C-alpha cells in the first residue's frame, strides 16, 4: 500500500469531498465489474419477489466489494455473491420492513396534511371574516415554514435507514431487524452530512441523467408517430429500447452510489469502532 491521500485520523470524520472522491475512485477502478453486477441486478427486477431480493442483494454486494477494498481485504465476486446469497431471504424481509416503514411515514404525512388542512380551513375562514390581508400573509409564511420543517423531518427519518443493506451484506450475525437497528445507530448525528454527500453525488450524476433524457426524447420523437398508427412491432421495439436504456443507465449509476455508501459506512464505523481508515493512494 502506497499510503493514503490525506485521510484524517480514525476519530475525525472524512470531509464531504474525501467521501465523494473515494467513492469515485472505487467506481472508476472497478467500473466494469460493478456495472455488470448492477446490470444483472436490474434483470432480476423483472422476476417478482425473489428477483427483488436478488436485486437488493446484488446491489449490496457492490458495497461489500467496495468496503473490502477500503479495508485492504479485496474479495472475489463469487465469494461475495455466495455470502449475500446466503442471506437472500433476510434481504427480502428487509425490503418488506422498509416498505412498512415507508407506509408508516406516508400515513404520518397524510395525517399531518389533513390536520393542517383542517386548521388552515378554520384559520382562513376566520381571517376571511376579518378581512385582514396581513393575517393571510402570516398564515402563508407559517404554512411555508411548516412545510420546510416537515420535508426536513422526512429526509432526516429516511436517511436514518440509508445504510440498512451494508450491515446485512458485510457483518456477521446480522438479520433484517438488526440491520435496520444498525443503520439507525451508525447514522446517529450524521444525517445532514450524509444528505450533503448525497446532494454532491447527485450533482455529479446530472450529466448522465441529461444524456439519458435526451436519448429517450429522441426515441419518443421517432417511435411515437409510428406507434400512433397502430404498429405493434414498433411499440414493442420502443418498449425494449427504453427498457434497455433505463437498465443500462441505472446500472451505470448504482455502482457510484453504492461505492459512496461503502465509504460512508466505513467512515462511520472507523470512528465508532476504531477501524483506522486508510484510503489507498494507488488506484483502488
Question: What is the pLDDT averaged over residues 153-175?
Answer: 94
Question: What is the pLDDT averaged over residues 189-207?
Answer: 94
Position 15 confidence tier, pLDDT thresholds 50, 70, 90: confident
CA distance linking residue 276 with residue 11, whole number of Å: 8
C-alpha cell at 103: 407506509
pLDDT in tens, 134-160: 667 777 787 788 888 888 999 999 999
Number of structural domains the chain divides into: 1
So what's the pLDDT on residue 144? 82
So what's the pLDDT on residue 3? 37
The boundaries of the domain holding residue 180 are 16-277
So what's the pLDDT on residue 141? 83
Nearest to 26 by CA among 260, 272, 229, 265: 260
The secondary element (H helix, E strand) that includes residue 213 is helix 191-228
Residue pointed to by grid coordinates 420502443: 238
The proportion of the chain whose per-residue pLDDT surpasses 70, expressed as a percent, equals 86
Q: Is 181 a domain residue?
A: yes
Q: Is 169 a domain residue?
A: yes
Rg of the Cα atoms in the chain: 23
Q: Is 284 a domain residue?
A: no
So what's the pLDDT on residue 60? 97
Mean pLDDT is lowest, of 188-192, 244-248, 277-281, for: 277-281
Question: What is the pLDDT averaged over residues 113-136?
Answer: 68
Of 50 and 116, more confident: 50
- Give the Å distances, CA to CA, from 48 to 36, 101, 164: 21, 21, 21
pTM score, two decimals?
A: 0.85
So what's the pLDDT on residue 275? 65
CA distance linking residue 253 with residue 212, whole number of Å: 12
Q: Is 1 a domain residue?
A: no
Q: Is 9 a domain residue?
A: no
So what's the pLDDT on residue 12? 59
Nearest to 63 by CA among 197, 259, 252: 259
Position 1 confidence tier, pLDDT thresholds 50, 70, 90: very low
Nearest to 280 by CA among 14, 71, 15: 71
| Highest mean pLDDT, choosing among 49-63, 102-116, 216-230 | 49-63
- pLDDT value at 4 more than 70: no
pLDDT in tens, 199-258: 999 999 999 999 999 998 998 888 888 787 777 888 888 889 999 999 999 999 999 999
So what's the pLDDT on residue 204? 94
Q: Is 85 a domain residue?
A: yes
Nearest to 157 by CA among 200, 194, 132, 121: 194
Amino acid at each position: 500500500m502506497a499510503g493514503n491521500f490525506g485521510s484524517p485520523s480514525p476519530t475525525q470524520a472524512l470531509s464531504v469531498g474525501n467521501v465523494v472522491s473515494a467513492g469515485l475512485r472505487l467506481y472508476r477502478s472497478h467500473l466494469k465489474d460493478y456495472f455488470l453486477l448492477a446490470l444483472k441486478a436490474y434483470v432480476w427486477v423483472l422476476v417478482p419477489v425473489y428477483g427483488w431480493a436478488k436485486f437488493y442483494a446484488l446491489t449490496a454486494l457492490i458495497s461489500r466489494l467496495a468496503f473490502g477494498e477500503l479495508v485492504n481485504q479485496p474479495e472475489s465476486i463469487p465469494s461475495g455473491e455466495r455470502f449475500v446469497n446466503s442471506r437472500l431471504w433476510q434481504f427480502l424481509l428487509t425490503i418488506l420492513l422498509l416498505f412498512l416503514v415507508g407506509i408508516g411515514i406516508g400515513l404520518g404525512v397524510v395525517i399531518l396534511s389533513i390536520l393542517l388542512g383542517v386548521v388552515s380551513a378554520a384559520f382562513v375562514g376566520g381571517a376571511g371574516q376579518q378581512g385582514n390581508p396581513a393575517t393571510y400573509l402570516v398564515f402563508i409564511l407559517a404554512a411555508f415554514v411548516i412545510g420546510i420543517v416537515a420535508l426536513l423531518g422526512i429526509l432526516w427519518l429516511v436517511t436514518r435507514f440509508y445504510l440498512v443493506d451494508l450491515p446485512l451484506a458485510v457483518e456477521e450475525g446480522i438479520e433484517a431487524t438488526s440491520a435496520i437497528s444498525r443503520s439507525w445507530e451508525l447514522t446517529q448525528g450524521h444525517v445532514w452530512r450524509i444528505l450533503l454527500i448525497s446532494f454532491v453525488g447527485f450533482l455529479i450524476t446530472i450529466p448522465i441523467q441529461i444524456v439519458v433524457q435526451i436519448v429517450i426524447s429522441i426515441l419518443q420523437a421517432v417511435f411515437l408517430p409510428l406507434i400512433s398508427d397502430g404498429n405493434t412491432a414498433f411499440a414493442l421495439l420502443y418498449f425494449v429500447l427504453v427498457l434497455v436504456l433505463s437498465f443500462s443507465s441505472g446500472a451505470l449509476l448504482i455502482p457510484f452510489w453504492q461505492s459512496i455508501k461503502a465509504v460512508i459506512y466505513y467512515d462511520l464505523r472507523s470512528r465508532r469502532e476504531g477501524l483506522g481508515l486508510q484510503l489507498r493512494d494507488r488506484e483502488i
